Amino acid sequence: MQHSGANLRFLVLLFVSVLLINVDTHTRALAPVRAVLGIAVAPLQSLALLPRRAGEWVSLRAMSEPELLDRLDELEDERLRLSAELQRAESLEAENRRLRELLSASRRGLDRVMLAEIEDISFEPSVQSVLINKGIAHQVYEGQPVLDAHGVMGQVVRTSYLKSAVSLVTDPGQTVPVMVERNGLRALTTGGGSLDRLDVPYLDRNTDIRRGDVLVTSGMGGRFPYGYPVARVLEVTVDVNEPFLRIVAEPVARLGYSREVLLVWPGEPPEPVDLPAPPEDHGTAGAKPAETGDAAGSETTVAPAGGDEAAGAAAGEGADADRQ
């Protein structure tokens, strides 16, 4: 009888233990009980750790001075190593943040982009340019627009197989077709020779432009894609003795700080549009016969917008043919 009673108590305690374990695992009903038991058990835990702490204390006091100095040197080396790793981690975090900003900038449009790094800068006072680590081998071409995470930086002016020179928008020889984002007013920006200055010339005194206006690429000329930020207007001055406004703007790109840049391949121009042939005039009095062999019904195409350069080249070829 006593043996069977002990077995029954064991089974009851086992059942209660399993039940409490499941309740504690799947619910928070026993959290207050566990907190109270933790307070009660804390002195016992400290007492159990006492021999270990006493041994460490005795071991530390038993170390000789040379051993202590060696230990100090090891700890100092470890501190320097961890400090260097922390600095490296901060640098990687900053680089990661810049790359995320560049990725965000690349999603503004549907243009194809490529990441490049600035390797060198020009120290000539009259030249605003940088050298990047992409070239002809990466399909980079002269005149290609270059951006950073904030806006337009400039365009490629020279290429080699693996490197390219980029002229910044602040270079005195650079002109960018822009428009005022607020009202669509078209204008130009020209480099002022300083990393924080752009001029906006040739705007009449009655032009609707004001301080704080954002200038974005207009897409005119077909070189810079439409809609990328270029500058922000800082100052608009009216001089009654001058026909034009004096406008000073600052680039939105971080020209003196950016390390990574984006090379942009603007989207393909629209396909030429086939216009219908003019209707034939049957039996009209006074109709003149065609003077050339270009029959009606020959295909006519419209040049895509932004093709001023192509049109100029075509006109030059036609003039050469006439002279021949």
Q: Nearest 5°: phi and psi at 252?
A: -85, -25
Euclidean distance between the first and final Cα of the chain, in Å? 129
Q: Is the pLDDT score of 149 beyond 90? A: no
Can you say how many angstroms the Cα of residue 302 is from the centroid of all Cα atoms in its chain? 35
Summarize pLDDT for 259-317 with one digit per residue, the tens. 889 898 886 443 433 444 444 544 434 444 334 333 333 333 333 333 444 444 444 44
Could you tell me the two tokens for 181? Answer: 């984002």
* Structural domains of the chain, with CATH: 2-60 (no CATH), 112-265 (2.40.10.340)
Strands of 193-267 (E only): list them: 198-199, 214-217, 229-237, 246-251, 260-265
State the amino acid at position 141 in one-letter form.
Answer: Y
Q: What pLDDT shows up at residue 297?
A: 36
Strands of the chain (E only): list them: 112-121, 129-132, 145-147, 152-159, 164-168, 175-180, 186-191, 198-199, 214-217, 229-237, 246-251, 260-265
∠68-74-80 over CA atoms, to 5°?
Answer: 135
243 neighbors 204 (Cβ within 8 angstroms): yes
Summarize pLDDT for 240-261 with one digit per residue, the tens. 888 999 999 999 998 988 888 9
Could you tell me the two tokens for 101? Answer: 């900003």
Torsion of CA 219, 224, 227, 233, to 10 degrees: -100
Q: How far apart are CA 169 and CA 189, in angstroms?
A: 8
208 neighbors 219 (Cβ within 8 angstroms): no
This prediction's pTM: 0.54
152 neighbors 223 (Cβ within 8 angstroms): no
Q: Is the pLDDT score of 88 beyond 80? A: no
Q: Is the pLDDT score of 320 beyond 50? A: no
158 neighbors 202 (Cβ within 8 angstroms): no
Q: Provide the 8-state DSSP code for 140.
A: -
Number of H helices, E strands in the chain: 4, 12
Could you tell me the two tokens for 86? Answer: 């922390």
Q: What pLDDT shows up at residue 28?
A: 76
Summarize pLDDT for 12-42 with one digit per residue, the tens. 888 888 888 888 778 877 777 777 777 877 7
Q: How far apart are CA 77 and CA 284, in angstroms?
A: 101
Closest to 219 (Cα-Cα) out of 169, 269, 273, 150: 269
Q: What pLDDT shows up at residue 244?
A: 93
Q: What pLDDT shows up at residue 98?
A: 67
Closest to 115 (Cα-Cα) out of 154, 155, 148: 148
Q: Is the pLDDT score of 184 beyond 60? A: yes
Q: How far apart are CA 11 and CA 70, in angstroms?
A: 59
Closest to 188 (Cα-Cα) out of 226, 128, 198: 198
